[in-house]
Structures are given as structure tokens and as C-alpha cells.
Amino acid sequence: MKPGWSYRGTSQKCSCSRRAAFAGRILATLVCLTAFTACIGPIKPVPSQQSQEAPPPPTETAEAPKPVEPAPSDTPPSVPSVPAVQLPPIGVGQPSARQEKEEMPVVEAKPVLVAASRESYVVPNATSGTKTNTPIMDTPLNVQVIAQQVLKDQQVITLDQALKNVSGVTTNTTNNFAGNLTQSILLRGFASQTFFRNGFRLQEGAASRAMANVESIEVLKGPAAILYGLVEPGGMINVLTKQPLATPYYSLNQQFGSYDFYRTTMDATGPLTKDDTLLYRLNVSYQNSGSFRDFVDKKDIFLAPVLKWNIGPRTQATFEFEYNHQKSGLDFGFVPLLDGKILNIPRSRNYGERTPVTTQTFFGGVNWSHQFTNDWSIKHSVSVNQQSVKQPSLVFPFDVTSGSVSRLLQSFDTKFNTYSTNVDLIGHFDTVGFRHTLLIGGDYYRLDTITSVTLGDVSTIDLFNPVHPGTPFSGPLQPLAQNANRTDQYSFYIQDQIQLPYNIHVMGGFRYQHLRQNNNEEISQSSNTAAHDAVTPRVGVVWRPQQWLSLYGNYAENFGPNDPFAVIFPGTLPPPTSAKQYEGGIKTEFFGGRLRATLAYYDLTKTNIATRDPLHPTFSIVTGAARSRGPELDINGEILPGWNVIATYANTEARITRSNDDSASSPTSVGSRFFNVPRNTGSVWTTYEVLTGELRGMKIGGGVTMRDGQPGCCDKPAASIPGYALVDLLAAYSRTVGQSTVTAQLNVYNLLDQHYFSGLTTNGVGLNGLTGAYADFGQPRMFIGSIKIQY
């Protein structure tokens, strides 16, 4: 090591090790306690004081039945909720045909059909896995749901903050070179920027999505191509938004915190007509915040109105709109490396400049549903999502020499236009005494991506004592690339869920899809087109020998296009990706469904993966095949009245298994680990709320999030980043004042103030072992307080 230079983490090695060991003991203790509690067997649930004292729900008039709607997730105890249609018990099997005919009609596949109780961490049903609102215990898939109460307790502001509550899911920004504007979501080791909103595909910075109108988040693990088409085989994220309610409800929440963080959110819902024919919901948020990183201020405006029209007792239509405007500073997280180790520089240092970037997103959607009979229904949805990212003048650090950082002047203008429509027909019927739930559907999806990049001169700035704005740039920006890419998908799918004797549930289906890609480069006047067809099956089985126990297994295949920006040297499109997965697991449910645990093991192989070409940095290479496998554990729910817990663990063994570049120096040689994928990840989060006595309304909680060390991207030998353990705390108090409830809450994130990175991407090999890299800096210790009023 050169004189006067130190490595990041060298001086803190002992203290970090002690902190990690201490946090590890906490995590192990809480996981063992939770697992022991879950394994002692079913215990008769004790009703909480809150449920005993809650007023009875209002009685509806004897008019035509109203459509199903969830109870308000934020409604205080003193506000009555709208009664929901009674669902089948979470026990074994579905109701018989005669029972179904005697009950109210069941409307299938609504964005939010089932809501857990106000304080619950468990949601009994999910739509993402089957589109048929099936109980999770009867689903032969690994589906995890992050409930509304979790989002409130952790004061979740962006999607990536919520996903730490699910095993095998991580996020980072360094894969995208987008300057902290977008984040990749990694599920079972495979990265994607695609997520879904109420089942609709959105192609944008998923993990940076606003959360003001989010009701819950469903995570479907494993290939989901049969129902959703172009998705990475690791799984998919489906964000369920808040829907209009017939019970008036209003809330105002003011948050404030470290680094000049201020955020205001508003939620209002209720009827617009006396007969509840028209219902509305409006969510608004405004954020103005600084950052621990230099030049990374942020302003965010979010608006989401929803109108629901109850046309008749069996027909409804919903109109949705979202507008999001963000203006934020750019941060590539550039750090110097010496012999593969990050040099010790202040974590606030940004080698870029104060060059704000503007992001605007518009979403519009219409969906309607009609129930022909108690057994047959149809739903049709259409959506348009448009996102533009304008970076008129950005400073891109790209290399480092002995005492200075080289920077490039660029501009970047990108537009993502997504168009989607789908139709689902759902029917229930009996054949030979077996109960069927049949889904027949089709969808069309188009993604247009338009990118314009210009390039300017090179400037330098001092490595250890940077003075901004640094050396001035000279010369105008010159066009570098103008790309127009289009992906079209036409699909048809069918799925049947069959209830057999002995509490066995079988699911099977397939999807036919036609994919067409067209890439055009305006400057070079080049064009590439590719078209492919595929049939992807999925089968699964669940055996539920006891009401609290399910054993499941599934096999699924996946098919989809490669990265739309990827081009194989000298200029051809890469072949489509495909994947196969085998999975088996155990699900348990205790305390009247208040506590659920899922233990799964999967083996997933993906072929034709496009990654960066180390010999031609502007092109990609197809590595052949990669395999991800390992166990996953998810526990969430209520152990005792007022005591909620979440515990997760995943061991992700993700490696390259076949490569066309198998040299020892290749980052994609056989046996290489996936970039930025930690082998071991785990978390524990627990809260306790006092339900009786003078301290009623007091809540405390905390948790630990742990990540193993991981290799960076993309050179070999690749620099690696160490693991870390983060401790978070919660304290809150709610008090009823008249017909309103006032809640004061304080969250502390990264209590031990760990200096950590969640991702790293190297930028070639420099001279004398010195080079640059892009790091995903972890948030230092941060406090966020809030005052919330609900009526």
C-alpha cells in the first residue's frame, strides 16, 4: 500500500467484526425463538383487547350487494370498517358448489381483494401466483406478502426498503450506471428493473417507486412467465395499490428526519354519491430531502387519484391515474480502488457535480369486471405508463490516475413507454366430483425505449482534495448514440386448479407467447430485428394433511428477450433467455392463521444470459448458462397479541455453469459467482404493542438485517465488498382524540452507523493496480420521526 493511503474499513476492522458478531447473535437468537414458537403447535388464539372493544361494522341495507372491498388499512380503531364478503376458511379445501350458490358472488382477481386485520403482518390470500385469489396455504408456489402494517411500522418510503422483509431479495444501483436514479431488484440472484402494478408490467426504476398509495407488496418467487410473460426467472414483484372505499377516511402524515428530510403524505377516500355508486381515493405526497452524499438533494411530487364506478351489483369499473415528478442530484458512487480494495475516502464525497436530473412518470389505467353467475366472471384491463428521464448535463467519473479522477461530460435523455392490456375469464365448476378453478386469458404488451446520448470533453478533479466544479470542460457535446428499441409480446394462457380428495390441490397450465424485438440506431443507421415463439408450462401440487401444514412442489419454465440494449459484437441481437426451475417446500400456519412460515428449496437454471463484453465494453456476450439454488425461510405474523415478527434467511448459490469465454481471467468463466449477489442473507424484525392499560397504544420494535460478502462486477479477479449487519429501532405512541387518532413515531436506521456497500462495479484495470469503481453506498445512521392524524 502506498504511503498515506489507507483502505476503506482497515481502521475499523476489529470494531466492525465485533458489531457483526453481536448483530449475528441477535439474529440467531430471534430466529431460533421464532422458529421454536412456530413449531410448538397450534395454540388457541387469544382475542386482543382491540378486537374486543372495536365497534361492530355497519349493517348494509337490503339492496343489491355491493362489490367486495378491503377494510381501510389505516383506519383507527374508532372508525368502523366496511364488511367484506365472507371468504372460504383458511382450512382445507374450497367450499362446495352448493355452498357457493348460497353465498354472495365472489369477484375474482381484484387488485386488492383480501385485507388482513389492521395490525396484522399476515395476509391470508394472494393473487399474484394464480390470478384467482387463492389462499397461500393452498398455492403450490412460494408467495410472500409485505402487509400494510409492515410498511407503516418501518416507515417505508421506497420499494427497496420494503423488500428486505423477503428472503432471497436484494437491491442495488451499480448494475445500471444510472447515477442512483434506478435500482435493480435481484430475486434468487437474477436482476431485473421490471415490476408490476396490480398485475400490470412497468419498466422503470422499480426500487425507487413512490409508496404513498401502496397497500401491500406481493413477491412471487421463481419463473412467472405463464401468467406475466417477460419476467426474469428469479421471480416478480407486484405492487398492490390502495382502492376506493365506501367508508370515509382521511389521514395526514408529516415526516421529518436526518439530512434535511421532509415528507408530507395525504390519504382520502369515501363515496361521491349517496348510493355508493361512485367511490374515490386520493393519495398525495411531497418530499424535500438532502443526503449524506454531496450534491444529492431530492424533490418528489406524487399524485394518485382513483375513481370506482359500481355500475351494477355484478359490474364495476375502476379508473386510475398516477403522476410522479422527481428532481434529484446525480450520484454514480465513484470510488478509487487499489489492488482491488476501496480506498478510505469520506462517504460523503461525490466526484461528480451538482447536475440535477428530472424524472417524470404518467400512469393511466382502466379495468372493468363483470360476474355472469356466481361461478363465472371476466375482467379486462388497459394501462399506459410513460416515463422520461432528462439528464441535460451530467459529469461522469470514469477513471483514476495517481492523484486525479478523470470525468466525462455527457447528456442522457431516455423515454420508457409501456402499453398493456389483458383479459381474464375465471370459472368454477365440478367434474367427476372434483372442484375446478379455471383461468383462461390473453395479453398484449409493448415497450418502447428511446435513448439519446451525447458526449463531451474530459476533465479532471483532485482525488483526495476535490475542488468543485473542477477543471472546466471545453468543446460542445457531440451525439454518441440515438437508439429506438421496441419489444412486443402477444400471449395466450390457460390454468386449471383442481381440488382432489385427501386435501390435495393440483395446478397446471401453459402459456404461448410470441416475442418480437426491433432495435434501431439512428447515428449508424443500423437495425436489428428478432422474432421468437415459445410455450412455457407450469405444474404444481399441494398436499394439506393438516389445517396448519402444507407440503408443495412445482416445476416451471421461463422464456423472454434479453436486455433490449444488449448487442453481440459486431452487431447482432442476443438469443432469447430461457429457464427451468424445480422447487419444493413446507408451509405452516399457526394461531388461527396469524403466524405463517415457509421453508423452500429451489434449483433454477437460466441460459443465454447477456453480460458486458470485457474485450468490447460497448457490446455484450452470451455466457451460456447460470444456476441458482438454495434454501429459503420466511416467517411472519403474530406470536402473541400485540407481538409481531418477521424473520428471513436465504442461502443463494448462484454461479456460471456454461460459458463461451472460459479463460481464467474472464469474469464469466465457469464457476464464477454472480456479481453483487451475497451468498447468505437474513433479517429479523419484531414489534410489540401494548393493547391494554395506561400504556395502551405504545409500540416498540427493532430488527437486524445481515448480508454476506459478495463479488463485485465485472473484472476478474473482481473486487469484493465485505458483509454487514444493520440494526434498526422503532418507537411509537397512538392516542385517540375525539373521532381522530394521533400517532407519533420515531425510527432509527443503521443504529450502529455501519459504513457499508451493497454493490460494486469495477471499471477496467488501471495502472499500478489503481483503478475506479462504482459503489452503492449504504445509508449512515438516520432518524425519521412522524406525526400522523387519522379521521
Q: What is the 3-state secondary structure (H, E, C) of 388-455?
A: EEEEEEEEEEEEEECCEEEEEEEEEEEEEEEEEEEEEEEEEEEECCEEEEEEEEEEEEEEEEEEEEEE
The b/e string for 470-509 (b: 16+ C-beta within 10 A; e otherwise) is beebeeebeeebbbbbbbbbbbebbbebbbeeebbbbbbb
> In angstroms, rounded to a whole number, what is the distance separating the alpha carbons of residues 148 and 727?
22
> In angstroms, rounded to a whole number, what is the distance separating the alpha carbons of residues 622 and 316?
47
**What pLDDT score does 613 carry?**
77
CA neighbor of 520 nearest in space, from 531, 529, 507: 529
Range of the domain at 31: 13-43+141-790
Which three-class secondary structure state does DSSP give residue 651?
strand
Please state the φ and ψ torsions of residue 226, each to the nearest 5 degrees: -60, -35
**What pLDDT score does 363 carry?**
95
Instruction: Indicate whether 183 belongs to any domain.
Output: yes
Q: HSE-up of 542 (CA within 13 Å, CB side)?
A: 27
- The CATH number linked to 187 is 2.40.170.20
**What pLDDT score does 22 carry?**
43
Instruction: Indicate whether 358 belongs to any domain.
Output: yes
Contact 526, 535 (CB under 8 A): no
**What pLDDT score does 517 carry?**
85
**What pLDDT score does 55 carry?**
36
Instruction: Indicate whether 93 belongs to any domain.
Output: no
Instruction: Indicate whether 524 belongs to any domain.
Output: yes
**What pLDDT score does 478 carry?**
86
CA neighbor of 552 nearest in space, from 508, 526, 520, 583: 583
> In angstroms, rounded to a whole number, what is the distance separating the alpha carbons of residues 187 and 674?
12
**What pLDDT score does 664 carry?**
61
- In this structure, the number of other CB atoms found within 10 A of the CB of residue 15 comes to 11
**What pLDDT score does 205 carry?**
53
**What pLDDT score does 770 carry?**
79
- In this structure, the number of other CB atoms found within 10 A of the CB of residue 643 comes to 14
Instruction: Indicate whether 4 belongs to any domain.
Output: no
Contact 121, 644 (CB under 8 A): yes
Regarding beta strands 298-312 and 698-707, do their DSSP bridges make them parallel or antiparallel, or are they unpaired? unpaired
Contact 367, 317 (CB under 8 A): yes
**What pLDDT score does 147 carry?**
96
> In angstroms, rounded to a whole number, what is the distance separating the alpha carbons of residues 82 and 573?
53
Determine which helix (DSSP H) or strand (DSSP E) holds 225, and give its type and residue range.
helix 225-228
**What pLDDT score does 717 carry?**
59
**Looking at the DSSP assignment, which residues form a beta bridge with residue 690?**
none
Contact 699, 731 (CB under 8 A): yes
Number of domains in the chain: 1
Contact 451, 400 (CB under 8 A): no
Instruction: Indicate whether 39 belongs to any domain.
Output: yes
* Stated pTM of the model: 0.84
The DSSP letter of residue 89 is P
**What pLDDT score does 720 carry?**
84
Give the number of residues written for the chain. Answer: 791
pLDDT digits (tens, 9 = 90+) for 271-323: 999 999 999 999 999 999 999 999 999 999 999 999 999 999 999 999 999 99
Which three-class secondary structure state does DSSP give residue 170?
strand
pLDDT under 70: residue ranges of the chain: 1-118, 173-183, 203-208, 561, 564-565, 660-668, 715-718, 764-769
Instruction: Indicate whether 73 belongs to any domain.
Output: no
> In angstroms, rounded to a whole number, what is the distance separating the alpha carbons of residues 377 and 692?
45
> In angstroms, rounded to a whole number, what is the distance separating the alpha carbons of residues 260 and 666?
44
Instruction: Indicate whether 149 belongs to any domain.
Output: yes
Query: Which cell numbers hold the place of 544?
Result: 394439506
